[in-house]
């Protein structure tokens, strides 16, 4: 079960599809194995970059069951939905399947601090003893959650054990939350998103790790381990080697297509298919990805991280 001490890398899993758009269960197995082999301490399925909104309720449950059955590390399940009934139903299925906890993002309809606080209090009541992750991703949800409001949620919702930090610019939020913990506020785990774009600085500000996806998921474990070992220079070297690809994958509207293409070219999933409506990569774009991958491999070889 997730708790406030959870740390490391929880890789946000893509949802593999066959070329016709059907779920690719064989690739789910292969993907889970690959993520763990590349250093994932945990997995997160049905996140926003897992195309959760394109799945039926039955498909969502099927993905959760397949991933949890295959995984040897804790699995967090994204259960965000417009209504509490859907959140409750999927959460129950997830926990019954062996998930370690669930992740909830606020709906776009919330505007005031009081509305946001009441919402997460309702979430805590609805989920009962299930530990949950508060996903703070205003770029996607349009909901701004201040540091003081997060602390109110932490104070009034004991089952909120983790913040998935995806605010940007958001480094000062991490610093403020850790300062509050040092002053006696209940400390919760902070794992960070944003495709790893700010992971180095987030770790140095006091984050406990990453909860995000990237076409080369081993990057996150390497950076996190280096920072935790106090080898900041090595962490910077590794981060710098991957940064051109991180930057390229961060393109709004195209990032998931790029990520799936990278994962498919490495054999992690069989097909780079996104469910429609979706972005399509041109031959020019794929050539740019190949060029970045080649240069990245050269850098990693120089660092002694590949043969």
* Residue 103 labelled as part of a binding site: no
Q: 57-70 vs 84-96: helix axis angle to the nearest 10? A: 30
3-state secondary structure the chain: CCCCCCCEEEEECCCCECCCCCECHHHHHHHHHHHHHCCCCEEEECCHHHCHHHCCHHHHHHHHHHHHHHCCCCEEEECCCCCHHHHHHHHHHHHHCCCCEEEECCCCCCCCHHHHHHHHHHHHHHHCCCCEEEEECHHHHCCCCCHHHHHHHHHHCCCEEEEEECCCCCHHHHHHHHHHHHCCCCCCEEEECHHHCCHHHHHHCCCCEECCCCCCCHHHHHHHHHHHCCCHHHHHHHHHHHHHHHHHHCCCCCHHHHHHHHHHHCCCCCCCCCCCCCCCCCHHHHHHHHHHHHHHHHHHHHCCCCC
Tokens 């205003």 — which residue?
A: 138
- DSSP strand pairing (75-78 vs 189-192): unpaired
Residue ranges for the known binding site are 211
Residue ranges for the known binding site for pyruvate are 211
């Amino acid at each position: 079960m997730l708790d406030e001490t959870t740390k490391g890398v929880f890789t946000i899993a893509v949802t593999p599809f066959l070329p016709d758009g059907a779920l690719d269960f064989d690739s789910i197995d292969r993907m889970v194995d690959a993520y763990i082999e590349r250093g994932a301490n945990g997995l997160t399925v049905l996140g926003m970059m897992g195309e959760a909104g394109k799945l039926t309720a039955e498909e969502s449950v099927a993905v959760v069951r397949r991933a949890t059955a295959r995984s040897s590390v804790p699995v967090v399940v994204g259960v965000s939905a417009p209504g509490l009934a859907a959140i409750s139903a999927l959460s129950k299925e997830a926990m019954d399947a062996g998930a370690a906890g669930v992740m909830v993002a606020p709906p776009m309809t919330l505007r005031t601090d009081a509305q946001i606080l009441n919402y997460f209090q309702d979430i805590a009541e609805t989920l009962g003893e299930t530990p949950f992750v508060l996903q703070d991703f205003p770029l996607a949800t349009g909901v701004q959650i201040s540091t003081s409001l997060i602390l109110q949620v932490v104070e009034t919702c004991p089952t909120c054990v983790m913040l998935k930090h995806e605010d940007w610019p958001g480094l000062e939020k991490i610093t403020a939350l850790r300062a509050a913990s040092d002053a006696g506020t209940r400390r919760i785990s902070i794992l960070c998103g944003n495709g790893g774009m700010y992971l180095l600085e987030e770790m140095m500000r006091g984050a406990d790790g990453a909860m995000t996806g990237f076409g080369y998921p081993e990057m996150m474990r390497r950076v996190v381990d280096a920072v935790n070992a106090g080898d900041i220079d090595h962490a910077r070297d590794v981060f710098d080697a991957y940064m051109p690809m991180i930057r390229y994958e961060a393109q709004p509207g195209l990032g998931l297509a790029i990520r799936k293409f990278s994962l498919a070219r490495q054999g992690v999933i069989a097909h780079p298919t996104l469910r429609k409506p979706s972005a399509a990569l041109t031959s020019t774009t794929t050539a740019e990805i190949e060029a970045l991958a080649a240069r990245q491999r050269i850098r990693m070889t120089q660092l002694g991280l590949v043969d």
